[in-house]
Copies of this chain bind each other. A is one copy, B any other.
Amino acid sequence: MARPHTPILSEARILEAVRRLAVDGDFTLAQLARELDVRVSSIYHHVASKGAIVHLLRRDWILRLRTELGDSAGRERLSRIVHSYAEFAGEIPALVPILITEPFQDDELRWLYEDLAQTLHDIGVPDTRLLPLIGTIDAIVLGAAFDLLAPPFHASEVSPETHPRLTAALATLPEDVDRREHLHSTLDDLLAGLLRGYSAHTSS
Residues of A within 8 A of B (CB): 97, 100-101, 103, 105, 110, 113-114, 117-118, 121, 127-128, 130-132, 135-136, 138-144, 146-147, 149-151, 153, 157-158, 162-166, 168-173, 179, 182, 186, 189-190, 192-194, 196
Of the residues B97, B138, B163, B186, contact of A132 by C-beta under 8 Å: B186
Chain B residues with Cβ below 8 Å from A157 are 105, 110
Q: Which of A105, A136, A141, A153 has the most CB of B within 10 A?
A: A136
Complex Cα distance A153/B110, Å?
Answer: 9
Chain B residues with Cβ below 8 Å from A163 are 110, 113-114, 117
**Dominant secondary structure at the A interface:** helix
Please name the residue on chain B nearest to A197 by beta carbon: B189
Inter-chain contact B172/A127, CB cutoff 8 Å: yes
Inter-chain contact A131/B110, CB cutoff 8 Å: no
8 smallest A-B Cβ distances: which pairs?
Answer: A193-B193, A143-B143, A130-B169, A139-B147, A117-B165, A103-B151, A139-B144, A139-B143
Chain B residues with Cβ below 8 Å from A186 are 132, 136, 194
